[in-house]
Amino acid sequence: MKSTMSKVLHPLAGRPLIEWVRASAIQAGCDRIICVVGEANADVRAKAEALGMEIAVQEPQNGTGHAVLCAKRAIGDFDGDIAILFADTPLIRHQTLLSVFDALKVTDVAVLGFEAEEPGAYGRLIEKDGRLTKIVEAKDASPDELDVTLCNSGVLAASRDRLFSALDQVTNDNAKGEYYLTDVVDIMCRDGGSAKAVRGDEGEMLGVNSRADLASAHAAFQANMRRMALEDGVTLRDPDTVYFSYDTVLERDCVIGEHVVFGPGVTVKAHATIHPFSHVEGALVGEGASVGPFARLRPGAELGPEAFVGNFVEVKNTKMGRGAKASHLTYLGDAEIGERVNIGAGTVTCNYDGYFKHKTIIGDGAFIGTHTSLVAPVTVGKQSFTATGTVVTKDVPDDALMVARAEPVIKLGWAKRFHETMRKKKASKS
């Protein structure tokens, strides 16, 4: 990756690669997750521990089979099925993992494979009479074996006892001099057991070993999300320009405009519209609400039903009630805005004093005039008005009008005298 950060911590659609694999394992029903790391992978270990994973250290790194053996102590007396996953293969769905576990009902070891358009350096799954007989690495494969298009994803599942019994017999007699996990298939079959290849979709098996691979995985994820959104009844005006996060939720009959980006933690309710060139992150957009164009919703933004946020409006940690409107050129931070409130252009909630954030509360039906500055903490009452250009520094009662402007001063002839003086100064320097 040419990075100071370990590969599996690089983010894909809003979360690190290792979190993708952890989430799939949990959704597939895995009771425990053990992360095998090298001694140099301090950042990976710290992340895995923060996510609640158990740790096993592999040192030195002598192959995938050796990695699983290094986890044996952590596994302890666990009695059940074990799946081997790879933290750099993020797109494998939990439904696919479930199909691998299901195969263990009729076989001793199940291996996830896929039909590859270009098998290249992938290991090959060799079958005979519908049974998997061995996995062979491309570097060790014969010409006939290289012609096989059924490839190994790396994902493998077996019972604890059978897995470690086979691993104890694995040797490093191969082109890389490593202990291959894949050799357990041949060993189990040789010992009278059986193996089965479970076929998955090639798009799920994308491994990430470079920035280019990460971009390819991102593109595959986005394409899948766009397809699912369209199938679920969401309108994407230009699908290829809409970007999703891993957890984006769009309800039926939403309309998403061109060049919209969703960060993590977004839910858009039914019949809402996100107009072009908007960025939405950590936000809830209510039913029938409208956002943008050129709007930004930051974490903690909650728009009620039929609320309206227009162009060049930024909303952060703010709740807007039903039908509230901020049409343009406005910043709303750390605020609670009631129903049917109208926020005039250029309004700013002054929420930060350099040390602490403070809250602005605006009651139902209030009208906030153009270029109002609300210096928090402050409350504007229900049905109240603030005049254009007002700086609100104290609470406004219900049904009141607040006007806070400096007394205008007009100096006749001042501009003429100023220009004459400046021209003389300029002439004297030339």
Would you say the C-alpha torsion 68, 69, 71, 77 has a positive or negative sign?
Answer: positive
H/E segment holding residue 302: strand 302-303
Q: Residue 158's pLDDT is what?
A: 97
Q: For residue 13, what pLDDT band results from cuts at 50, 70 and 90?
A: very high
Residue length of the chain: 430
User: Where is pLDDT greater, at 286 or 40?
Assistant: 286
Residues 152-187 pLDDT 10s: 999 999 999 999 999 999 999 877 889 989 899 999
pLDDT score, position 47: 98
Binding residues for UDP-N-acetyl-alpha-D-glucosamine: 7, 58, 63-64, 123, 137, 152, 209, 298, 316, 331, 342
Q: What is the CATH number of domain 211-402?
A: 2.160.10.10
Taking the C-alpha atoms of residue 370 and residue 347, their distance in angstroms, rounded to an integer, is: 6
Q: Which residue has the tokens 């059924």?
A: 150
Mean pLDDT computed over every residue of the chain? 96
Coil vs helix vs strand at 130: coil
Residue 254 binned pLDDT confidence (cut-offs 50, 70, 90): very high
Neighbours of 23 (CB within 10 A): 16
Annotated binding site: 7, 58, 63-64, 88, 123, 137, 152, 209, 298, 316, 331, 342, 345, 351-352, 388, 405
* Residue numbers belonging to the annotated binding site for acetyl-CoA: 345, 351-352, 388, 405
User: With pLDDT > 70 as the criterion, what percentage of the chain qualifies?
Assistant: 100
pLDDT at position 140 is: 86
DSSP labels for 344-381? -TT-EEE-B-SS-B--EEE-TT-EE-TT-EEESSEEE-
In degrees, rounded to 5, the angle at the alpha carbon of residue 414 between the alpha carbons of residues 413 and 418 is 120
Q: Rounded distance, CA 183 to CA 179, Å?
A: 8
What whole-number distance in Å separates Cα of residue 347 and Cα of residue 371? Answer: 5
Q: Report helix, strand or coil for 178.
A: coil
If you average pLDDT over residues 392-412, what whole number do you get? 94
Beta bridge partners of 156: 84, 111
- pLDDT the model gives residue 273: 98
> Is pLDDT of 208 > 80?
yes
Residue 377 has pLDDT above 90, yes or no: yes
Q: Which listed residue (275, 328, 358, 371) is catalytic?
A: 328
Indicate if the pLDDT at residue 337 is higher than 90.
yes
Domain boundaries, the chain: 7-205, 211-402
Residues 51 and 49: their CA atoms lie apart, in Å, by: 5
CB 199 within 8 A of CB 116: no
Which amino acid makes up residue 346? Answer: G
- 35, two tokens: 């992360």
Per-residue pLDDT of 105-146, as tens digits, reads: 999 999 999 999 999 989 999 999 989 999 998 988 999 999
Report the alpha-carbon distance of residue 203 to residue 157 in Å, rounded.
20
- The stretch 314-334 carries a mean pLDDT of 98
Helix (H) or strand (E) holding 43: helix 42-50
Reported as a pLDDT band with limits 50, 70 and 90, residue 151 is very high
CA distance linking residue 185 with residue 125, whole number of Å: 10
The pLDDT value recorded for residue 430 is 76
What is the dihedral sign for C-alpha 346, 349, 352, 353? positive
Are 75 and 160 spatial neighbours (Cβ–Cβ below 8 Å)? yes
- Evaluate whether 341 touches 357 at the Cβ level (below 8 Å): no
Annotated binding site for Mg(2+): 88, 209
Q: Which residues contact 410 (CB under 8 A, 6 or more apart)?
A: none
Q: What is the mean pLDDT of residues 53-77?
A: 95
Map residue 338 onto helix, strand or coil.
Answer: coil
Q: How far apart are CA 14 and CA 331, in angstroms?
A: 25
Within 10 A of 49 (CB to CB), how many other CB atoms are there? Answer: 13
| Secondary structure of residue 36 in the 3-state scheme | strand
Whether residue 328 lies in the annotated active site: yes
State phi, psi for 24 to the nearest 5 degrees: -65, -40
Angle subtended at Cα 77 by Cα 72 and Cα 81, rounded to the nearest 5 degrees: 75
- Spell out the CATH class of 7-205: alpha beta
Quote the pLDDT of residue 29.
96
What mean pLDDT is predicted for residues 382-401?
97
Residue 391's pLDDT band (boundaries 50, 70, 90)? very high
Confirm if 186 and 133 have CB atoms less than 8 A apart. Answer: yes
Of 182, 45, 13, 175, give the one whose Cα is nearest residue 112: 182
